[in-house]
Amino acid sequence: MSAAEWRNAMNAGSGRLAMGKSVAAPRPQVTAHSFQNPIRVRHVLVLAALLVFPWIATPFLTFQVGAQSLTLGLIALSLTFLGGYGGMISLAQMTVAGVAGYMVGILGTSGTPEISLGWPWWVVVPLAIAIATLAGAFIGWLSVRTEGIYTIMITLAVGVAFYYLCLQNYSIFNGFQGFQQVHPPKLLGINWRDPLPFYHLVLFWSLAGYFFIKYLLRAPFGVALQGIRDNPRRMNALGFHVTAHRIAAYAVAGILAAVGGVLLVWYNGLITPNSAGTSWLINILIIAVLGGLRHPVGPFIGAVVFVLLQTFAIDLIDRERFNLVIGGVFLAIVLFSPDGLLGLWAALKLRFASRSKSLTPRGDSR
Amino acid sequence: MSRFWKWFWSLVLVVPLAVFAVWAIWDNTKLFFITMLNGLTLASLYFIVASGFTLVFGLMRNVNLAHGSLYLLGGYVGYFVAEMTGFFLLALIAGFLVAALVGLLMQVAIFRSMQGEDLRQTMVTIGLSIVIADLLMWGIGAQVHQMSAPEWLVGPLRDIPLITAYSKYRMALLPLGLIIGVLLWLFLNRTRVGMMIRAGVDDRAMLAATGVNVNLVFAATFAIGAGLAGFGGVIGAVELSMVPGEDVRLLLASLIVVIVGGMGSVVGAGVGAIILGVAETYGLAYAPTYSVVFTFVILVLVLAFRPRGILGQAA
């Protein structure tokens, strides 16, 4: 986030670095020695919990909460990668996911055989992901020409334009109705839409996405990208092609969002213009910011909170007022903890550590 | 770009448009000119809303994504004021004032405390737009509110060459947009406050150093920008209609207008509004299911050749 600040400040030459430490703090886990990042107890615990969860939870919880959070988390992860590590907040990640979803509906089978081509899934899915990735790279190519907050405006404009295109176009996108009955294929005798198989499918791809990003952030490309976020001028002077790196980052984020989009259309069983409408464009931003842009685990935390609010907060208040709740939570987070829930956690830990330090000489483990 | 390429690209753009215009006039003269008028009147509304957006952005580098919500708020307020009192002008004033007041409140209560944190401010406006939109839906409901035009603007204007008749109200929007544009231009270029605002656009710190109360200037600009959104809302309540979702539509229009025209420039907003309004109505009239594509193509072309907009300057 404040990467954009940095960028603005460096490019404009006026030293406005207000947001400063809260978000721009150098991320210690991305330094060279973190290659030997040890496997901690909490990693094992989280993985075990993820694997055990579907066997003890009800099918409703597994599918509605578990699978949905992981899917949305995967899409939001693409935004975390772009925003937190590339310094580019794109609102069009849900559009990329929407493109993938629409491609699955158009190329594969759906309840609208007049339009759907009915190709087999092993053609449809890779093609959908490829097309959506291209779309993501194209959006990147458009928006990297501008900087900082301009990116938000342009990606929002692109996203809303795609929404209206789907809404108004009947010959390809089937207008308001979209595509119904878009289901995952039945493979190996398993119905992948059943809660348990679907949860594991989503879990696999979410973990794959998470570790891919973890790996990428330490690879030369990821390190260069973070350098560009912090100081594009200096990276340019060092001989890095800043624009190419940024577009490549959009393409990488596009892959994640595309995989998430295919999973999301299978989860919902349908795709309509509203699946990529403004509220969802912004919901992805909410999820990413809610969790925190500082670590790839943030979007998944944000997604769990979002889905829990969506599923259970409506029991406390009127169902129609979900937007009010989520908007209010988002406002509170942006106003009081710009680093999201991870930032809140870090602040608590810091306070706790400094308090215990006064008692014992041990202090914070990190 | 060399002169040759400039000519080449202008030809690539102009020739198809000219061919289309000739064909359309030959095919159906009336439709062509009515569409033109529709486009220009829509552009007038877009200009009024987007000029507020660009004013706020130009001075404060704050992308106010709650601008569409202020538009909706102004429209509803105008609707109810007109329904209670029966005076259209009163509705216009009320729409302007209420939106300006809300904008002022936002500026003083929230944005003042996060000066210079552009991205955070933008996210706050996203949150606000969600909350305001939902509060409006809660309080007023999701049904369509269509305001009727004042009596002296009801009905068609007859005996116009080429198109025979056209709605008086829509016709009145043309001079209204022009007047507001000229007033804004005069305000920015000929008054002391306008001078301060322009100075603030160029260099905030320097303006503060000369002893101007920058906070006051910011608050005033934000109020005017928000007020213009509310004012546009009252006009739009007659021309279009007020229903949840319109806020997003006008926000998108404002975004595209200022991206195309150049951010922070009132004249740019005028140019962008005309391009967008005309392109959108022609798209709807001649190729209904692809009209958004034209808008999008314009956006892409402008970003490809002039990333800062047609009249934009380097920040």
At B278, give phi and psi (nearest 5°).
-65, -45
> What pLDDT was estimated at residue A36?
53
* Structural domain range at position B228: 42-244
**Binary contact (B248, A18; C-beta < 8 A):** no
Cβ-contact B91, B79 below 8 angstroms: yes
Residues in Cβ contact with A312 at an 8 Å cutoff, skipping those fewer than 6 apart: none
DSSP, collapsed to helix, strand or coil, labels residue B14 as helix
How high does pLDDT run on average in chain B?
82
ipTM: 0.75
> What pLDDT was estimated at residue A364?
43
**Binary contact (B291, A170; C-beta < 8 A):** no
CB-nearest partner of B119 from A5, A154, A278: A5
> What pLDDT was estimated at residue A31?
46
Is B116 part of a structural domain of the chain? yes
B63, B112, B115, B117: best mutation site toward chain A, by most A Cβ within 10 Å? B117
Residues in Cβ contact with B211 at an 8 Å cutoff, skipping those fewer than 6 apart: none
Residue A341: name the closest of A295, A308, A282, A307 by CA.
A295
Cβ-contact A201, A68 below 8 angstroms: no
**Binary contact (A278, B65; C-beta < 8 A):** no
Top-confidence range, B2-16, B25-39, B145-159, B181-195:
B181-195
- Contacts with A148 from chain B: Cβ below 8 Å: 118-119
Give the confidence band of A37 by pLDDT, cuts at 50, 70, 90: low
Cβ-contact B75, B246 below 8 angstroms: yes
- Contacts with A279 from chain B: Cβ below 8 Å: 130
Q: How many angstroms away from the CA of B140 is the closest CA of chain A?
A: 13
Give dist(CA B183, CA A97) in Å, integer: 45
Give dist(CA A150, CA B121) in Å, integer: 13
**Binary contact (A321, B134; C-beta < 8 A):** yes
Give dist(CA A57, CA A317) in Å, integer: 25
- Contacts with A160 from chain B: Cβ below 8 Å: 248, 251-252, 255
pLDDT at B299 > cutoff 60: yes
- Contacts with B263 from chain A: Cβ below 8 Å: 150
Give dist(CA A283, CA A94) in Å, integer: 9
Q: How many angstroms away from the CA of A146 is the closest CA of chain B?
A: 7
Which of the two residues, B298 and A3, has the higher pLDDT score? B298
B119, B202, B263: best mutation site toward chain A, by most A Cβ within 10 Å? B119
Residue of B nearest to A144 (CA): B307
DSSP, collapsed to helix, strand or coil, labels residue A191 as strand
> What pLDDT was estimated at residue A228?
86
> What pLDDT was estimated at residue A251?
92
Q: How many angstroms away from the CA of A187 is the closest CA of chain B?
A: 38
Give dist(CA A112, CA A272) in Å, integer: 12
pLDDT at B126 > cutoff 70: yes
Give the confidence band of A147 by pLDDT, cuts at 50, 70, 90: low
**Binary contact (A334, B308; C-beta < 8 A):** no
Q: Tell me what percent of the residues of chain B surpass a pLDDT of 70.
A: 96
> What pLDDT was estimated at residue A258?
92
**Residue B291 burial by Cβ neighbours in a 10 Å radius (0-12, 13-18, 19+):** buried
Give dist(CA B30, CA A309) in Å, integer: 54
Dihedral, B133, B139, B145, B148 alpha carbons, nearest 10: -110
**Binary contact (B292, A168; C-beta < 8 A):** yes
Work out how many domains chain B is built from and give that number.
1
Buried b (16+ CB within 10 A) or exposed e, B73-89: bbbbbbbbbbeeeeebe
Average pLDDT over residues A221-239: 87
Which of the two residues, A214 and A109, has the higher pLDDT score? A214
Q: Tell me what percent of the residues of chain A surpass a pLDDT of 90.
A: 8
pLDDT at B165 > cutoff 60: yes
> What pLDDT was estimated at residue B301?
79
DSSP 8-class letter at B148: P
- Which two three-digit tokens encode residue B228? 């213009």
Is B219 part of a structural domain of the chain? yes
Which of the two residues, A46 and B233, has the higher pLDDT score? B233
Q: Is the dihedral of CA B294, B299, B302, B303 positive or negative?
A: negative
**Binary contact (A327, B134; C-beta < 8 A):** yes
Crossing angle for the helix pair B246-261 and B266-286, to the nearest 10 degrees: 120
> What pLDDT was estimated at residue A358?
53
**Binary contact (A334, B115; C-beta < 8 A):** no
Residue of B nearest to A160 (CA): B252
B53, B72, B125, B126: best mutation site toward chain A, by most A Cβ within 10 Å? B126
- Contacts with A145 from chain B: Cβ below 8 Å: 303-304, 307
pLDDT at A108 > cutoff 80: no
> What pLDDT was estimated at residue A24?
44
pLDDT at B206 > cutoff 50: yes
Q: According to DSSP H, which parts of chain A are helical? A: 2-12, 21-24, 41-56, 59-60, 68-80, 86, 93-107, 121-143, 149-168, 195-218, 220-230, 232-237, 242-268, 278-291, 298-308, 314-316, 322-336, 340-359
Give the confidence band of A321 by pLDDT, cuts at 50, 70, 90: confident
> What pLDDT was estimated at residue A255?
92
> What pLDDT was estimated at residue B304?
72
Cβ-contact B146, B159 below 8 angstroms: no
The residue to which tokens 């991320």 are assigned: A27
The model's pLDDT over B263-297, given as tens digits with 9 standing for 90+, comes to 777 888 888 899 888 888 888 888 777 777 788 77
pLDDT at A12 > cutoff 50: no
A324, A326, A337: best mutation site toward chain B, by most B Cβ within 10 Å? A324
Q: According to DSSP H, which parts of chain B are helical? A: 3-27, 29-60, 67-85, 88-109, 118-140, 168-190, 192-202, 204-209, 214-239, 246-261, 266-286, 291-305
> What pLDDT was estimated at residue A267?
87
Is B214 part of a structural domain of the chain? yes
pLDDT at A329 > cutoff 80: yes
- Which two three-digit tokens encode residue A7? 């960028």
Residue A157: name the closest of B178, B253, B191, B51 by CA.
B253
- Contacts with A152 from chain B: Cβ below 8 Å: 63, 65, 119, 122
Instruction: Return the bridge partners of B158, or none.
Output: B165
First to last CA, chain B: 21
Is B272 part of a structural domain of the chain? no
> What pLDDT was estimated at residue A289?
86
Instruction: Return the bridge partners of B156, or none.
Output: B167
Cβ-contact B241, B144 below 8 angstroms: yes
The distance of Cα A93 from the centroid of its chain, to the nearest Å, equals: 7
Average pLDDT over residues A12-33: 41
- Which two three-digit tokens encode residue A45? 């615990």
pLDDT at A34 > cutoff 60: no
Average pLDDT over residues A158-181: 80
**Binary contact (B119, A149; C-beta < 8 A):** yes
DSSP, collapsed to helix, strand or coil, labels residue B250 as helix
> What pLDDT was estimated at residue A85?
87
pLDDT at B73 > cutoff 80: yes
- Which two three-digit tokens encode residue B262? 């150049």
pLDDT at A359 > cutoff 60: no
pLDDT at B204 > cutoff 90: no
Average pLDDT over residues A191-201: 79
pLDDT at A343 > cutoff 90: no
Give the confidence band of A19 by pLDDT, cuts at 50, 70, 90: very low
- Which two three-digit tokens encode residue A357? 């330090």
How high does pLDDT run on average in chain A?
78
DSSP, collapsed to helix, strand or coil, labels residue B156 as strand
Global pTM?
0.79
